[in-house]
Every structure is written in structure tokens, then in C-alpha cells.
Amino acid sequence: MTMRAVILISGRGSNMQALLEAGLPVDFACVISNRPEAAGLAIAARHGVPTVVIDHRQHDGRAAFDAALAEEIDRHAPDLVILAGFMRVLTEDFVRHYANRLVNIHPALLPAFPGLDTHARALAAGVKLHGCTVHFVTPEVDAGPIIAQAAVPVLADDTPETLAARVLRQEHRLFPLAVRWLAEGRVRLREDGGTALLPARDGDVDDALISPTG
Ligand code: GRF
């Protein structure tokens, strides 16, 4: 059976676009934005995906907004709810309602740099590798089980903008890959709170990314 997914966005929508264009075995039932001006809405419409705006400013508080959002999402009965640049903290009730079917992409190698301004913070910390993470969402922000990560080198003359662009290129590869694995039923939650990809591929383990390369 094809997996049904709903994507939530707040803005540009480039990760959503990467998902829609990846030829995934996924039925994208709807794209929902909390901002009417989100550029990603037009991209979704161009791909023939229905769009809905649920403006958080029209709701009285976080709980009311999340309830309206959940009502719309549940109309589509999705197997997976994908946060693709959705810039709102969600209530615990909402997150629990979608336990194990809510995923997010974060622009850092979690657990390093949860929250905002990840690229500037990575530069300030002097890390030599940075990247992005696809993870299940749990009530604690940016702390759920990690499904997949992509790492990029941090270069000596990087600015937050150049680093963000390098990470974003990998986000556009990583998110479709992770969603494909989810759609294929290959991602398992482990009892220790982590995840495992099945079947494990033994040959991949020697691929280290070393930075700087000298
Ligand atoms: C991405 O960097 C994503 O990791 C973060 O917000 C940004 C959204 O960009 N959560 P886009 O809307 O997908 O272009």
C-alpha cells in the first residue's frame, strides 16, 4: 500500500519541493502552511498537491492552533506527517497524537545545535563538520530519535550563508532518502530510543568524512 503523507511548511518550501520531485512511493495528500505568504504553497500547487493555510495568527494560542492543524491533518488520514521548514513549536498533545509518524529536518548534526541560527552557532563553535538531521519528533524540541544525517565540511572562509547553502544541498538529498526508507517500512524504532535501518548495509561503514582534508 502506498504511504499517505501530509507536509507542513512555513516558508520557502525547498525541502518540500525536493520531496515532491523525488519520485517517492508516497501519496502527498496535502501541503499545509501556517503562513498565507509561504512561497512553498505555489510550488505545491504547481505539483498538483492540494494546499491549505491555517494561519496561526487567526487562532487564540498554541493549543487552539494545534487543534485546528490536527483536525485538518486528520481529514487526510496520513501515515506520515512531514515537517519541512515548519517554524512552530508544537504542543505536547499534538506531538503525542502523531507519535512515530511525525518527522522533521533540522539544519545541524543533532544533538549539536538544536534550535535556531544553527549555521552561525556552528561557525562560532569552530566545528569542522556540520550538517543536517532527519528525526522523529518528540515533545522535547529537536531531540527525537535520529533517522539519518548528512555531514558537510566547514570551510575556513565560510559565512552562515555559504554554510547554510552547503547544508541545504544535502537536506534536499537526505530528506527524500529518509522518507523513502520510511515509506518502504525500513526504519525501526529501537528499544533504547534510537532507530535502525533495515537491512543494515555493512559495506557503508568505511565512508568517513574528514574535515579539513589538509
Ligand atoms: C531548512 O533549512 C530546514 O532544515 C529548516 O528550515 C529550513 C526550511 O527551508 N527546518 P525550506 O522551507 O525547506 O526551503
Query: pLDDT tens for residues 79-118?
Result: 999 999 999 999 999 999 999 999 999 999 999 999 999 9
**Where do the H-state alpha helices sit in 11-107?**
14-20, 40-46, 62-75, 92-97
4 sits in which H/E element: strand 3-9
Query: pLDDT tens for residues 79-90?
Result: 999 999 999 999
Q: Residue 145 CB: number of other CB atoms within 10 A?
A: 18
Calpha distance 14→171 (Å, rounded): 9
Query: Which domain CATH number covers 53?
Result: 3.40.50.170
In the prediction, which pLDDT does 177 show? 96
Query: What is the residue range of 153's domain?
Result: 105-214
- Using the 3D structure, point to which of 39, 69, 98 is the last residue of a domain: 98
Q: Tell me, in angstroms, the distance from the centre of ligand 1 to residue 12's CA.
A: 8
- Using the 3D structure, point to which of 76, 98, 120 is the last residue of a domain: 98
In a shared domain, residues 72 and 154: no
Number of domains composing the chain: 2
Q: Which residue, chain included where needed, has cell 574528514?
A: 210
**Residue ranges in the chain whose pLDDT is less than 70:** 201-206
Our answer on whether the CB atom of 131 is closer than 6 Å to any ligand 1 atom is: no
Strand partners, 26: 3
Q: Fill in the DSSP letter of residue 48.
A: T
The residue whose CA is least distant from atom 14 of ligand 1 is 14
In the prediction, which pLDDT does 203 show? 62
Q: How far from chain centre, in Å, is Cα 89?
A: 13
Is 56 a known active-site residue? no
In a shared domain, residues 109 and 137: yes
In a shared domain, residues 115 and 87: no
Calpha distance 53→34 (Å, rounded): 6
